[in-house]
Amino acid sequence: MTHVSMTVNGRAVSADVEPRMLLVQFLREKLLLTGTHVGCDTSQCGACVVQVDGAAVKSCTLLAVQADGCAVLTIEGLAPSGALHPMQEAFREHHGLQCGFCTPGMIMTAMDMVARLGPDLDEATIRENLDGNLCRCTGYHNIVKAVAAGARAMAPASAAAE
């Protein structure tokens, strides 16, 4: 067992974990943050995307011990309880989800896209940057619309931050 400490959704957490425990297992099993999903075992589906120190990371490719000392943000921490982040709101408004399983990873990836590329995302850019996220329900059509709209809705906030 190895001791790890990190900040998850703004809350300091620590636990003893097996060295082979993945970050996604730590989030789901130790912290009961089950919004982050596991859809494959080869780091390709993107259902497990979270932010680690501000960058999108597939939490199934990282050991929990590798995130020691990091700040982790999951889908549960995106907006205060009861409220929706503009990106979440955009997925609802544009029907960017059906079964909802890939959705947390999609939203976290979209957040990363905005952080890297700004709020003005064209369709081709969004499609290209969704390369690491699989969805089997939507045909991506409405996810692309949702990401574009969510990014635009985030624009005033990012402008204010500059």
Partner 1 sequence: MNASTVTPIGAPVRRKEDKRFITGKGRYTDDLSRPGQAHAYFLRSPYAHARIRTIDTAAAAEMPGVVGVLTGRDLAQDGLGGLICGWMINSKDGSPMRAGAHPALAVDTVRYVGDHVAVVIAETLNLAKDAAAALAVEYEVLPAVPDLAVAQAQGAAQIHEAAPNNTVFEWELGDRAAVEAAFAQAAHVTEIDIVNNRLAPNPMEPRAAIGEYDAGDEAYTLWTTSQNPHVARLVLSAFVGLAPENKLRVIAPDVGGGFGSKIFIYAEETVCAWAAKKVGRPVKWTCERGEAFLCDAHGRDHVTKGRLALDAQGKILGFQVKTIANMGAYLSTFASCVPTYLYATLLSGQYAIPAIYCEVDAVYTNTAPVDAYRGAGRPEATFLVERIVDKAARELGIDPAEMRRRNFITAFPHQTPVIMCYDAGDYAASLDKALEMADYAGFPARRAEAERRGKLRGIGLSNYIEACGIAPSAAVGSLGAGVGLWESAEVRVNPTGNVEVLTGSHSHGQGHETTFAQLVSARLGIPIDQVTVIHGDTDKVQFGMGTYGSRSGAVGMSAIVKALDKVEAKAKKIAAHILEASEGDIEFKDGRFSVAGTDRGLAFAEVALNAYVAHKFPTSEIEPGLKEGAFYDPTNFTFPAGCHVCELEVDPETGTTEIVNWIAVDDFGTVINPMIVEGQVHGGIAQGVGQALMERVAYDGEGQLVTGSYMDYQMPRAEDFPAFKVGMTETRCPSNPLGMKGCGEAGAIAAPPAVINALADALGTQDISMPATPAKVWAIAQARVTRQAAE
- Does 11 help bind partner 1 (rule: CB under 8 A)? no
Contact set for partner 1, span 82-111 (CB under 8 A): 84, 88, 91-93, 95, 97-104, 107
3-state helix, strand, coil in the chain (%, to 5): 40, 15, 45
Phi–psi pair at 5, nearest 5 degrees = -135, 140
Pairing mode of beta strands 71-73, 2-8: parallel
Q: Which residues pair with 63 in a beta bridge?
A: 22
User: For residues 3 and 136, which CB has a smaller minimum distance to partner 1 in the complex?
Assistant: 136
Site stretch for partner 1 (CB under 8 A), options 32-40, 63-71, 114-122, 153-161: 32-40
| Distance of closest approach, residue 2 Cβ to partner 1, in angstroms | 14
Q: Is 48 left (phi over 0), alpha (psi -120 to 50) or beta?
A: alpha
* Residue 140 interacting with partner 1 (CB under 8 A): yes
Neighbours of 21 (CB within 10 A): 19
Q: Smallest distance, Å, CB 59 to partner 1?
A: 13
Return the H-helix or E-strand segment holding 7: strand 2-8
Q: Assess 51 for contact with partner 1 (CB under 8 A).
A: no
Which positions lie near partner 1, rule CB under 8 A? Answer: 18, 20, 28, 32-42, 44-45, 47, 74-76, 78-79, 84, 88, 91-93, 95, 97-104, 107, 123, 126-128, 130-131, 133-144
